[in-house]
Amino acid sequence: MAGTLSGSIDVQEGHALSVVLVLRDEHEGGARHSARALWRVIETMASSIALQGAPRIMSLKAKALRREGKVPAVLYGNDFASQNLQFDYLTIARVVQMAGTSRLVSLTIEGDDVEHTVLIREVQREPVSDAITHLDLYRLVAGVAISTEIPVVQVGVAPIIESMGGIVNQLMDTVEIECMPRDMPESLKVDVTSLDDFASFLTVDDLVVPPGVEVLLPGDTMLVRVLAPRSEEELEELAPEVPELEVEGEEGAEVIEGEGEDLEGEPEPEAAEE
């Protein structure tokens, strides 16, 4: 059966937002939707985010730079001389939100024609406002494996939670992996639909790991477990005991010498010297 594949990809800032494919049967005129045919294309297009920066003005201190709406940063890597950079705050805030520490970023610097593929290694923030104050960017080299931490994402619903209640307790939010830059996934998924009793758990071996990626943890490392709901009796036992305070009546009350006595006759405090 012959057919043609057509469709469209909506892309913004190197990020695939939507994909619609239609496989039209020339003989029957039918149509069906599928995204599998362009899965690799989507992964490639969504693998990096564009970012433009500028060499940092070293005559300005970091605080003065931030007052002008800029964020200082450092770009470093193996066999690479570190560079001090600066970015527009709104731009870098959007990129940090999109990329986190597990998405590739395509960095260009004013006055430099070289495009650098980087990872955001560290984001420093102001404790009260949570505003970004500094960035560390790690420069990658094609053909050289990297190690980094990426998020672990649950997929599905645990049957035991639906039938009996309880909590799916994820013990690790991220795992460390090693791979080539082009193979780096945004996250690793773990399917929790096999958790059908309170003794069930999932380990690193249960992660869905794409080809070319190695998880740098033992396969039997526990990732997810199920916590049974607690009964009212158990919750009462866990509640902290509040000691009862005994208050004696007037007849049994003890008077400590000097307490409750008439204060007449005590010398008045001396006036403070001017």
Task: Write down the pLDDT at residue 12.
Answer: 37
In 3-state terms, what secondary structure has residue 179?
A: strand
* Domain-terminating residue out of 89, 104, 139: 139
Burial (CB count within 10 angstroms: exposed 0-12, middle 13-18, buried 19+), residue 225: middle
Position 185 in a domain: yes
Q: What is the CATH number of the domain that holds 215?
A: 2.170.120.20
pLDDT tens digits along 28-44: 344 343 333 333 334 44
Q: Residue 87: which domain range? A: 48-139
Task: Write down the pLDDT at residue 59.
Answer: 92
Cα–Cα distance measured from residue 251 to residue 242, given in angstroms and rounded to the nearest whole number: 27
Residues 41, 18 share a domain: yes
Count of structural domains, the chain: 3
Position 206 in a domain: yes
* Domain-terminating residue out of 139, 166, 181: 139
pLDDT tens digits along 103-142: 999 999 999 989 999 999 999 999 999 999 999 999 999 8
Residues 227, 156 share a domain: yes
Position 271 in a domain: no
Whole-Å CA distances, 15 to 42, 130, 148? 8, 26, 21
Position 255 in a domain: no
In 3-state terms, what secondary structure has residue 265?
A: coil
User: DSSP string of 69-94?
Assistant: TEEEEEEEETTEEEEEEEEEHHHHHH
Residue 215 host element (H or E): strand 213-215
Residues 15, 34 share a domain: yes
Task: Write down the pLDDT at residue 48.
Answer: 72
> Which of 10, 3, 58 shows the shortest CA–CA distance to 29?
3
Task: Write down the pLDDT at residue 37.
Answer: 34
Any residues with CB less than 8 A from the CB of 151 and at least 6 apart, and which?
A: 100, 102, 173, 174, 186, 187, 188
Q: What is the CATH number of the domain that holds 58?
A: 2.40.240.10
Task: Write down the pLDDT at residue 18.
Answer: 33
> Which of 204, 214, 213, 147 shows the shortest CA–CA distance to 171?
204
User: DSSP string of 140-174?
Assistant: --TT--EEEEEEEEEES--HHHHHH--EEEES-SE
Positions in the chain short of pLDDT 50: 1-46, 255, 260-261, 263, 274
Does this model's pTM top 0.85? My answer is no
Position 63 in a domain: yes
Task: Write down the pLDDT at residue 19.
Answer: 34
Half-sphere exposure of 17 (CA within 13 A, CB side): 4
Whole-Å CA distances, 148 to 19, 70, 176? 29, 27, 5
Task: Write down the pLDDT at residue 82.
Answer: 95
Length of the chain: 274
